[in-house]
Structure 1
Amino acid sequence: MTNQEGVTILVTGGAGFLGQHIVKELMEQEVFPVKEIRSFDIQPFKWHHGLHPSKNSQKLYHIEGSICDPAALTQACENVDVVIHNCSCVAFGAYPNRKSTRAVNVDGTENVVDACIEQNVECLVYTSSIEVANDLKKPSVNASETSVTVPAINPIFHVYSKSKYDAEKMVLTANNKTLKNGKKLRTCALRPCGIYGEGDHILTTNLGYFLNAGIAFRIGEPSGKSQYAYAGNLAYSYVFAVKSLLRPDEKTDISGEAFFLGDDTPIYSIGELVSHFAKALVAETGTATPPYWLMYTIAFFLTVMCWLVSNLKYWEMPFHTNAVRYMFGEYHYSWEKLQRVLGYKPRYTYKEAFDRTITYYEHFFGLNNKSNQTKKQK
């Protein structure tokens, strides 16, 4: 499909956290020629600090629109060769808004598939999640795409997990569907783990608490392990996925397949990961770890309170009983298939990723001074 002019790629959710990293990596890669990159998002596009690409910025065009608007989405897909469907409603709270989560994650994905068929888009890469495989009743230790049950019987973040699974299944089922011009649609799904990096808005919340207190506390047992990776490395894997879909005659045809994503970031507990970043930003770090029973008890009462008011007013509360079980559990996955089939290697080392992230956090919290440079991980 590729030619000297290059391909046109549409990234839904392109103005968001992972979306901007995907756009940046597409601009800077030299694996295949790119003619144009379109970002499609409900919010304006503004580069996060430290993310502006080193080249090819003239190829980026931003379209403000919603994937819940089929007409706008179909128009945005005109003359597009590849769609990276990255737009999602992330809902980790105790009682998330089921209607909006399904509307964006499932109905919006259906709109994307329909737009691809209508506009003869031959390649579709879907951003799924490792949450489609997480199970409250059993750990996932270096699990592979074939060793886990999808969907999990007991998903941790039930509303979000189910919506992502349904959307992933929809995209993979759409593989080999006939387009308007008679050609076939090729699809794949990528399952990112927890993400850190420029533009992060989840870990920054926890770090903000630590900075205000002047001390970092560890939450969760060290034995509980969660998988995190640098956004730039996860975004770089999309380059290899697009390459494979564009060149289906190669040995590595990934049509209809799903992949867990990852990089060389150590498998930490969530508390250890946050503590590593906090140490680089604050002078003192606590070593005490609140026990599981205490954390669960607090979360239980907060969860009940959230349930009591949920019928009157929407209350986004990320700290709840399932979240505590997740923090004390073990959930990490192998990305060996990504390496073996696609030839993926992380673009950034863990040290580079850590330092780039700390630079962003310093800017975000207004801590840009030389004294912080000595706190960066060596």
Structure 2
Amino acid sequence: MPGWSCLVTGAGGFLGQRVVCMLTQEEELQEIRALDKVFRPETREEFAKLQTKAKVTLLEGDILDAQYLRRACQGISVVIHTAAIIDVMGDIPRETIMDVNLKGTQNLLEACVQASVPAFIYTSSVEVAGPSSYKEIIVNGTEEEQRENTSSHPYPYSKKMVEKAVLAANGRTLKDGGTLHTCSLRPMYIYGEGSQFLSYIIINALKNNAILTYTGKFSIANPVYVSNGAWAHVLAARGLRDPKKSPNIQGQFYYISDDTPHQSFCDLVYHLSKDWGLRLYSGWIPPPPLLYWLGFLLEVVSFLLRPIYNYQPPFTRHLITVSNTVFTFSYKKAQRDLGYEPLVSWEEAREKTSEWIGSLVQQHKGTLNTKIQ
């Protein structure tokens, strides 16, 4: 697979950064174009330090700018599209989410057609499959089951509509007469050092002297470590470019998990942070049905106050649904078609994430020379 180039959107994000870093190890890769709306100074510094033969080009531009995307795609062999607005709390207007997630992806697909980019990999989400209700129970689900989230919440709805658009674009004729090949990856909840969501939970735990458990105590999930999620994207890029593997991958979607133990979200946070003295909240937690209706009341209060005050509820019905269900999926199809095997074990992932959490603890509680006993 001689001389190729890759555009990564959302390259300044949690997953996108890892994808860029992992691509630098790919043979014959001549250029990586890292696209995001804005890059933080520390991200620019990290990319500048990358040891790679490939040219790394940072592009700052809006995914809603169709002309800019067309220029960014010129001469590119593979697009890895990780950029998206993620919203579980209902903080962001529905129109904004649909514009960026759906319209932005449609712009990018059209740019690929016009610039004759033959391979397109989309970072979807397990939320395309659900859960649609806190009562839903899925254990080791597979792609063959064709599950679809029926929620009207803008984030899972947008991801579902985008994935349909991406897979429907498979087989489109490119401007140069070639063919566009697409596939979609559905990672589980992604954790690891640098996670904004984990950072939010840990900082709140430090303020409250405990890890609050109303969003996760009653769940069973199989999260994926960020480097393993990024590795699946690299393998998908290899696969779509390999004529022998490509027919099996084209137009397909894949669940991406790893060997992180199936556990509740609260237990995951506890196992990642216990070395630093953080403990789970031990008081009474309302069961999911009560939490769900409390979430509904909080949303009503937020809606009624909106003309005079921007009240952000501590949790919503959507958050309770996604964080208090039994919802796990197998990665066997990715193993079969992409050759996917997790690069990082649970033990190593836990250790690396725990070290990062330790730096957060030090930052917010003062310098700690020894672990809290």
Structure 1 partner of 2:184: 189
Kindly indicate whether the alpha-carbon contact (under 8 Å) linking 1:48 and 1:198 is maintained by their aligned counterparts in 2.
no
Q: Which of residues 172, 177, 182 is equivalent to 1:177?
A: 172
- After superposition, the C-alpha distances for 1:62-97 in whole angstroms (9 at most, x for unaligned) are 100011011111111111110001110112124641
Shift of the 245–219 alpha-carbon distance from structure 1 to 2, 3 Å rule, reads same
Structure 2 partner of 1:15: 12
Kindly indicate whether the alpha-carbon contact (under 8 Å) linking 1:244 and 1:252 is maintained by their aligned counterparts in 2.
no
- After superposition, the C-alpha distances for 1:342-370 in whole angstroms (9 at most, x for unaligned) are 11111111111111112222334435644
SS in 2 for 1:260: strand
Structure 2 partner of 1:247: 242
Alignment of structure 1 residues 144-293 onto 2, 5 Å? 144-150=142-148, 152-153=149-150, 155=151, 158-219=153-214, 223-250=218-245, 253-282=248-277, 284-292=279-287
SS in 1 for 2:30: strand
Q: Does 1:69 find its partner at 2:65?
A: yes
- Alpha-carbon distance in 2 for matches of 1:45, 1:39: 13
SS in 2 for 1:175: coil
SS in 2 for 1:80: coil
Q: Does 1:140 find its partner at 2:138?
A: yes
Q: Which of residues 34, 42, 46 is equivalent to 2:37?
A: 42
Shift of the 57–279 alpha-carbon distance from structure 1 to 2, 3 Å rule, reads farther
- Alpha-carbon distance in 2 for matches of 1:270, 1:12: 28
Kindly indicate whether the alpha-carbon contact (under 8 Å) linking 1:11 and 1:86 is maintained by their aligned counterparts in 2.
yes
SS in 2 for 1:366: helix
Q: Does 1:307 find its partner at 2:296?
A: no
- The runs of 5 or more residues in structure 1 that have no matched partner are none
- Alpha-carbon distance in 1 for matches of 2:309, 2:11: 30
- Alpha-carbon distance in 2 for matches of 1:269, 1:275: 10
Q: Does 1:118 find its partner at 2:121?
A: no
Structure 2 partner of 1:357: 353
- Alpha-carbon distance in 1 for matches of 2:202, 2:294: 20
SS in 2 for 1:347: coil
Q: Does 1:339 find its partner at 2:323?
A: no
Bigger CA drift: 321-330 or 120-129?
321-330
Q: Match of 2:12, as an amino acid? A: A
SS in 1 for 2:193: coil
- Alpha-carbon distance in 2 for matches of 1:211, 1:307: 30
- How far residue 312 of structure 1 moved from its aligned partner, in angstroms, is 5.7
Bigger CA drift: 306-315 or 274-283?
306-315
Q: Match of 2:121, as an amino acid? A: V
- After superposition, the C-alpha distances for 1:32-69 in whole angstroms (9 at most, x for unaligned) are 42111111100115456997776318632110001101
- Alpha-carbon distance in 1 for matches of 2:52, 2:164: 34
- Alpha-carbon distance in 1 for matches of 2:293, 2:275: 31
Kindly indicate whether the alpha-carbon contact (under 8 Å) linking 1:18 and 1:231 is maintained by their aligned counterparts in 2.
yes
Bigger CA drift: 80-89 or 311-320?
311-320
Structure 1 partner of 2:23: 26
Structure 2 partner of 1:109: 105
Q: Match of 2:68, as an amino acid? A: A
- How far residue 123 of structure 1 moved from its aligned partner, in angstroms, is 0.4
Bigger CA drift: 185-194 or 88-97?
88-97
Bigger CA drift: 202-211 or 122-131?
202-211
Aligned residues: 366
Q: Which of residues 110, 116, 125 is equivalent to 1:129?
A: 125
- Alpha-carbon distance in 2 for matches of 1:313, 1:98: 19
SS in 1 for 2:240: helix
Instruction: Name whichever structure is richer in helix by fraction.
Output: 2
- How far residue 7 of structure 1 moved from its aligned partner, in angstroms, is 1.3
- Alpha-carbon distance in 2 for matches of 1:142, 1:253: 22
- Alpha-carbon distance in 2 for matches of 1:242, 1:232: 15
The two structures have a TM-score, normalised by structure 2, of 0.90
RMSD of Structure 2 on Structure 1 (CA): 2.6
Bigger CA drift: 220-229 or 97-106?
220-229
SS in 2 for 1:266: coil
- After superposition, the C-alpha distances for 1:264-308 in whole angstroms (9 at most, x for unaligned) are 111111121122233222355443451216534543332221221
- Alpha-carbon distance in 1 for matches of 2:63, 2:314: 25
Q: Match of 2:236, as an amino acid? A: A
- The runs of 5 or more residues in structure 2 that have no matched partner are none
Structure 1 partner of 2:370: 371
Kindly indicate whether the alpha-carbon contact (under 8 Å) linking 1:216 and 1:278 is maintained by their aligned counterparts in 2.
no
Bigger CA drift: 96-105 or 295-304?
295-304
Kindly indicate whether the alpha-carbon contact (under 8 Å) linking 2:113 and 2:175 is maintained by their aligned counterparts in 1.
yes
- How far residue 210 of structure 1 moved from its aligned partner, in angstroms, is 0.9
Q: Match of 1:193, as an amino acid? A: M
The two structures have a TM-score, normalised by structure 1, of 0.88
- Alpha-carbon distance in 2 for matches of 1:50, 1:225: 38
